[in-house]
Amino acid sequence: MISAGIVGGAGYTAGELLRILLRHPEVHLDFVFSTSQAGKSVSSIHQDLLGETDLHFSGSLNREVDVLFLCLGHGNSEKFLNEHAFSETTRIIDLSTDFRESRPEHAFVYGLPEINRAEIQQAQFLANPGCFATAINLAILPLASKGMLEDEVHVNGVTGSTGAGTSLSGTTHFSWRDNNFSAYKAFEHQHIKEITENVKQLQTGFSSDINFIPNRGNFSRGIHVTSYTSFQGSLETARELYESFYADAAFTFLVDQEVHLKQVVNTNKCLLRVQKFGNKLVITSVLDNLLKGASGQAVQNMNLMFGMEETTGLRLKATYF
């Protein structure tokens, strides 16, 4: 059994990790660290876990755990690791943006299994991708893998309110979000950097813009993204490219009909649909921001890092209705 610790235990991504890890056949949950809830039972905060665990949030850490998940807001993971040393053998999976961009000062591997599986299997430190970044990367990286991103990429995406975390803000307040729709951070969303870096990893000379308009949707979970760019080949060529790029992917599938959130919410899947209109290729991608966009993908990466079957603990059931 692998011993696991979670830091930032009261938040949304930590809650999803708990739900998966408590049912994971190869994991023993050692501690759930929380600065705000130490001493309280885990099920008093993640209330659906009543009857599932007797764990209490901890104010102290076991520095010898096999794997540590950091579920902290941006900037706090790097600070936390500077202040707390762990065993030389502890593998660290960070869900924030802190280590997603490669820098000479850190050795974190970008955890998108669809492009980095071999590196992830060897990694001690892993930067889990962003939720929008996963949906957009999976939509456009097959094109980049063949040097076929010849032009700007235009992206429009919608996320549910859990994407913003547990802290209440004006735009996550029910009375603002309900019956509402709005765009934010147009052309400036923080995930554009990691997407651009991934595209350049596969298509070195890529220098066009990735124009991304994120939107806030009136629902709690899920990401729906449409991306389009110029494409000279036929639709059949594009479909063959995507089929072959994802032939070995455990959770990413090309489908031939409309994709929607009910297919993926509560699962670790990303579904893609490819269409062609004139000389434009349109790729629609859907996933659950808290699973394939965060905690599910983090467990997928943990499975790979510890040599387990990639899907262990992740055969989840969509809510659908």
Ligand X SMILES: NC(=O)c1ccc[n+]([C@@H]2O[C@H](COP(=O)([O-])OP(=O)(O)OC[C@H]3O[C@@H](n4cnc5c(N)ncnc54)[C@H](OP(=O)(O)O)[C@@H]3O)[C@@H](O)[C@H]2O)c1
Which residues are annotated as catalytic? 131
Residue with tokens 């980049």: 144
* Sole binder of ligand X in the list 11, 157, 214, 313 (CB under 6 A): 11
CA gap 229, 148 in Å, rounded: 10
Nearer to ligand X, 35 or 44 (CB): 35
Q: Return d(Cα 149, Cα 138) in angstroms, integer.
A: 14
Query: Rounded to an integer, what distance in angstroms lies between the CA atom of residue 157 and that of residue 289?
Result: 12
167 makes contact with ligand X (CB under 6 A): yes
Q: Answer yes or no whether residue 2 interacts with ligand X by CB under 6 A.
A: no
Cα 11 from chain centroid (whole Å): 15
Distances (CA, A) of 82 to 85, 280, 319: 7, 47, 40
Question: Which one of 160-168, 169-177, 198-206, 234-242 is the stretch in contact with ligand X (CB under 6 A)?
Answer: 160-168
215: contact with ligand X by CB under 6 A:
no
The answer to the question of residue 5 lying near ligand X (CB under 6 A) is no
Q: How far apart are CA 64 and CA 4, in angstroms?
A: 10
217 vs 228: CA distance, rounded Å: 21
- The reply to whether 28 sits near ligand X by the rule CB under 6 A is no
Residue 289 CB, shortest distance to ligand X, in Å, is 4
Would you count residue 131 as binding ligand X (CB under 6 A)? yes
Least distance (Å) between residue 137 CB and ligand X: 13
Q: List binders of ligand X among 46-75 (CB under 6 A).
A: 71-74
Using the rule CB under 6 A, is 313 a contact of ligand X?
no
Q: Is 13 in the site for ligand X (CB under 6 A)?
A: yes
